[in-house]
């Protein structure tokens, strides 16, 4: 294994010893000078910097386009790269009783009171009222379009106040959606000891589609409806 | 000792002598781990082919053996060798003897001790659940401290350098020395000691894995290529004025590309999307590298240059394949198949080939004697240049076939597994060839060490170094 048996003439070809050509010092200095770029002799146009600039710009253009298309606007909630945040409405089931209670507290409570008893002789009670627990069609119409004129509730006649329109109909100051109306009606039909069936949003929507606009109902008109 | 009267010895300088024993130990340890991981890799593949192999032995069941193999390769071979080569480059280019060499020795000792304990822990079932980060949690802080001890002298060599001008190799090595402990410590805190919750864990884990490979191993390999080419050929690198852009492109984009492993996972879509875009942007780094180092591909290079050329070719191919096969349309096929293993083997092959080139060049300078045997070098060269391409190609083809078949609901899984079998047999053969090659390298280096102790081998006759001529590139 010792080398005295074969001193090779061409030492550069001996793989046992990789010969180096340049000193470290000159390596540093020459490359430091080279890092300033090739001298611009004769003001010749240099193609390489321009080509690299174009390639890098092309990569940035490609990368930027790709990011823009498939990043989902960097939303933490987008997991499919082809979707955008908010592009698809998430259907969340809201408890109609909770929503109805909120709607009731927003508006109805002013006249019908938190306990639903109303004000004797002025605002009719909702508790155990035949209008509330009775026909869905009538009840929906009252809240949707309003009620004016005398009305008899539990044998007592009320004539002092009018019920405004709450639905999304012309002249309504509230514009409640069908879902909200269904919720508030379900709420009053099942609160304070009332025990009637819930009212579906679809039923409310059907009423509004049938009668998109009209003045307040009167008791006689309502009683004509089943 | 006279310094200037003997031109033949001019190159074995005090610089190399100052670093002799710590670096020799690092290289010996790294080669030991390389052979060990090659052996476990072969065993692991044989377990896939013959599931009953060691199935009764709890310590070496498939999963644990895989973790042992991966950790031994990365933390044993790759880190030890990267530090040895990186420190040597910094000392050489810094122009001053290695300061605080004791720190390197102590750090290397504890690093390898910790790794041995960690591998034992994995065998006992204490590994973490994160790829490329599987050492048990109780050993990880020790590894970080040991790494810091080894890296600090490198930083000293950088800050205390004799010359003001710097060279590309120095940028890459210094960056690597800082970036690895950064990623390593962040991963330890966020995954082990104050773990983040749920889906954040795989995100941090892939981020760490990518940084380990892309911002530690890759820069060291690149530093080797940048150094060896002009040193051996005695030529100025062409288009060197663009080298800083290549460096900063790597630093800017490499860290972002990890998310491509999360395609289809339960992570926000922008993470894989950013990774795919970053993998393409990183091609700019590869382009600059190809421009600067194209001289490696010139015919008639020495053996070290051929190793380096293989390393560069594998590195460029690996960058290209990362950019192309991370595209969602192709990833649908290659994800979760042997194809991804082929990609990782290609990258690790690039690293290993570059480091081989460096070790063949630096060891005679470190120890002052020439390599004992030409045959062993040729054997290692052949084994590497047969083993790595065959392994990568076979795994890629197997993975592609596997991916296409997996996408077809008509084909039962059993058939797909049976179809990969012949490919894996060839892969096992390639791994055996690589193991043989690396074993010859280990034996060769051990022989070199013995001869340098006994003084039995020929003293290296170094050629007189020339000043590099600034030529028009």
Residue B459, in any domain of the structure: no
The verdict on B278 touching A (C-beta cutoff 8 Å) is yes
Contact across the interface for A37 and B360, Cβ inside 8 Å: no
Question: DSSP 3-state assignment of B341?
Answer: helix
User: Worst-scoring range by mean pLDDT, A18-27, B243-252, B370-379?
Assistant: A18-27
Tokens encoding B321 = 């394949």
Q: Is pLDDT of B4 > 50?
A: no
Residue B10, in any domain of the structure: no
Contact across the interface for B245 and A76, Cβ inside 8 Å: no
Total tally of structural domains belonging to chain B: 1
* Angle A129-A133-A139 from CA coordinates, rounded to 5°: 95
Residue A207: the pLDDT is 86
Measure the CA–CA gap between B149 and A60, rounded to whole angstroms: 40
* Average pLDDT, integer, range B325-352: 95
> DSSP letters of B222-286?
HHHHHHHHHHHH--PPTTGGGHHHHHHHHHHHGGGGGGGGGTTSSS-THHHHHHHHHHHHTHHHH
CB A2 within 8 A of CB B457: yes
Residue where the block lists tokens 């910094």: B90
Q: Is pLDDT of B266 > 60?
A: yes
CB B451 within 8 A of CB B79: no
Q: What is the pLDDT of residues A28-64, one digit of tens each?
A: 999 998 888 767 677 777 788 899 999 999 999 999 9
Which positions 343-382 of B are in contact with A (Cβ < 8 Å)?
Answer: 360-361, 364, 370-374, 377-378
Measure the CA–CA gap between B330 and B334, rounded to whole angstroms: 6
Measure the CA–CA gap between B361 and A19, rounded to whole angstroms: 8
DSSP state of B199: T
Q: Output the CA–CA distances (angstroms, integers) from residue B468 to A22, A31, A49, B471, B472, in the order listed.
A: 5, 9, 25, 9, 12
Contact across the interface for B373 and A16, Cβ inside 8 Å: yes
- The nearest CA of chain A is from the CA of B332 a distance in Å of 14
Q: What is the pLDDT of residues B419-454, one digit of tens each?
A: 999 999 999 999 999 999 999 999 999 999 988 877
Highest mean pLDDT among A124-138, B45-59, B306-320: B306-320
Residue B469, in any domain of the structure: no
Q: Which of A13, A22, A63 sits opposite B234 (nearest CB)?
A: A22
Domain ranges for chain A = 54-87, 96-223
Residue B424, in any domain of the structure: yes
By CA distance, what is B244's nearest residue in A?
A: A35
Measure the CA–CA gap between A220 and A215, rounded to whole angstroms: 14
Q: Is pLDDT of B7 > 60?
A: no
Residue B67: the pLDDT is 97
CATH 1.10.760.10 fits domain A96-223:
yes
> DSSP letters of B15-79?
HHHHTHHHHHHHHHHHHHHHHHHHHHHHHHHHHHHSTTTTTT-GGGSHHHHHHHHHHIIIIIIIH
Contact across the interface for B458 and A34, Cβ inside 8 Å: no
- The nearest CA of chain A is from the CA of B303 a distance in Å of 6
Measure the CA–CA gap between B65 and B39, rounded to whole angstroms: 11
Q: Is pLDDT of B352 > 70?
A: yes
Look up the CATH number of the domain holding residue B42. 1.20.210.10
Q: Is pLDDT of B365 > 70?
A: yes
- Taking chain A (226 residues) in runs of 10, the rounded mean pLDDT of each run is 38 76 89 80 79 96 94 89 74 81 86 86 86 86 86 83 84 84 89 87 87 84 82
Residue B441's domain spans which residues?
A: 18-454
Residue B468, in any domain of the structure: no
DSSP state of B90: H
Measure the CA–CA gap between B275 and B249, rounded to whole angstroms: 14
* Angle B177-B127-B207 from CA coordinates, rounded to 5°: 45
Which positions 22-81 of B are in contact with A (Cβ < 8 Å)?
Answer: none
DSSP state of B9: G
The three state secondary structure string of chain A is CCHHHCCCCCHHHCCCCCCCCECHHHHHHHHHHHCCCCCCHHHCCCHHHHHHHHHHHHHHHHHHHHHHHHCHHHCCCCCCCCCCCCCCCCCCCCCHHHHHHHHHHHHHHHHHCCCCCCECCCECCCCCCHHHHCCHHHHHHHHHHCECCCEEECCEEECCCCECCCCCCCCCCCCCCHHHHHHHHHHHHHCCCCCCCCCCHHHHHHHHHHCCCCCCECHHHHHCCC
CB A83 within 8 A of CB B273: no
- Helix axis angle, B168-187 to B79-94, nearest 10°: 140
Residue A8: the pLDDT is 38
Residue B3, in any domain of the structure: no
Question: Looking at beta carbons, which residues of chain A come within 8 Å of B236?
Answer: 30-31, 34
Which positions 92-131 of B are in contact with A (Cβ < 8 Å)?
Answer: 92-93, 95
């Amino acid at each position: 294994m010792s080398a005295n048996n074969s001193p090779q003439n061409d030492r550069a070809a001996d793989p046992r010893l990789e010969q180096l050509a340049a000193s470290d010092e000159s390596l540093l200095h020459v490359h430091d000078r080279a890092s300033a770029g090739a001298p611009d002799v004769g003001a010749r146009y240099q193609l390489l910097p321009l080509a690299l600039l174009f390639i890098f710009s092309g990569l940035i253009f490609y990368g930027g386009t790709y990011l823009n298309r498939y990043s989902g606007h960097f939303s933490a909630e987008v997991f499919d790269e082809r979707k955008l945040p908010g592009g698809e409405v998430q259907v969340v089931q809201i408890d109609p009783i909770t929503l109805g209670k909120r709607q009731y507290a927003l508006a109805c409570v002013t006249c019908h009171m938190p306990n639903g008893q109303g004000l004797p002789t002025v605002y009719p009670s909702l508790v155990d009222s035949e209008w509330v627990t009775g026909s869905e069609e009538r009840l929906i119409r009252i809240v949707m379009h309003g009620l004016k004129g005398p009305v008899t509730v539990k044998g007592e006649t009320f004539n002092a106040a009018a019920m405004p329109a709450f639905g999304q109909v012309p002249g309504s100051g509230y514009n409640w959606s069908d879902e909200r109306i269904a919720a508030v009606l379900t709420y009053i039909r099942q609160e304070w000891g009332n025990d009637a069936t819930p009212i579906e949003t679809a039923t409310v929507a059907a009423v509004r589609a049938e009668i998109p606009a009209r003045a307040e109902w009167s008791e006689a008109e309502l009683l004509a409806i089943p | 000792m006279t310094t200037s009267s003997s031109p033949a010895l001019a190159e074995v300088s005090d610089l190399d002598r100052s670093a002799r024993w710590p670096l020799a130990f690092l290289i010996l340890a790294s080669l030991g781990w390389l052979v060990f991981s090659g052996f476990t890799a072969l065993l692991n593949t044989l377990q896939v082919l013959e599931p009953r192999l060691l199935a009764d032995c709890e310590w070496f069941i498939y999963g644990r053996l895989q973790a042992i193999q991966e950790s031994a390769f990365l933390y044993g071979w790759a880190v030890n060798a990267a530090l040895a080569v990186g420190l040597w480059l910094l000392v050489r280019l810094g122009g001053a003897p290695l300061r605080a060499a004791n720190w390197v020795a102590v750090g290397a000792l504890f690093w390898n001790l910790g790794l041995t304990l960690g591998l034992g822990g994995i065998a006992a079932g204490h590994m973490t659940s994160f790829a490329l980060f599987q050492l048990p949690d109780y050993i990880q802080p020790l590894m970080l401290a040991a790494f810091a001890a080894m890296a600090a002298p490198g930083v000293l060599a950088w800050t205390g350098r004799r010359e003001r001008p710097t060279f590309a190799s120095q940028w890459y090595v210094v960056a690597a020395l800082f970036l690895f402990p950064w990623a390593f410590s962040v991963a330890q805190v966020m995954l082990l000691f104050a773990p983040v919750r749920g889906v954040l864990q795989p995100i941090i884990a892939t981020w760490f894995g990518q940084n380990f490979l892309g911002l530690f191993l890759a820069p060291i390999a690149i530093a080797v290529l940048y150094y060896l080419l002009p040193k051996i050929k005695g030529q100025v690198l062409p288009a060197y004025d663009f080298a800083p852009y290549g460096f900063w492109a790597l630093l800017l984009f490499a860290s972002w590309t990890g998310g491509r492993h999360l395609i289809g996972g339960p992570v926000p879509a922008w993470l894989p999307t950013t990774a795919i875009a970053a993998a393409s942007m990183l091609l700019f780094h590869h382009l600059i590298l190809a421009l600067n180092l194209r001289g490696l591909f010139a015919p008639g290079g020495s053996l070290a240059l051929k190793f380096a050329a293989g390393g560069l070719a594998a590195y460029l191919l690996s960058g290209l394949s990362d950019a192309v096969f991370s595209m969602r349309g192709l990833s649908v096929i290659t994800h979760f198949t042997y194809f991804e293993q082929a990609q990782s083997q290609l990258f690790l092959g690039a690293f290993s080939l570059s480091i081989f080139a460096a070790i063949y060049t630096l060891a005679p300078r470190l120890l002052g004697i020439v390599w004992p045997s030409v045959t062993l070098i040729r054997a290692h060269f052949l084994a590497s240049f047969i083993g790595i391409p065959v392994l990568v190609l076979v795994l890629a083809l197997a993975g592609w076939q596997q991916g296409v078949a997996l996408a077809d609901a008509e084909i039962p899984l059993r058939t797909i597994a049976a179809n990969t079998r012949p490919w894996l047999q060839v892969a096992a053969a390639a791994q055996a060839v690589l193991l043989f090659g690396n074993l010859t390298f280990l034996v060769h280096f051990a022989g070199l060490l013995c001869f340098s102790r006994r003084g039995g081998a020929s003293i290296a006759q170094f050629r007189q170094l020339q000043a590099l001529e600034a030529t028009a590139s």
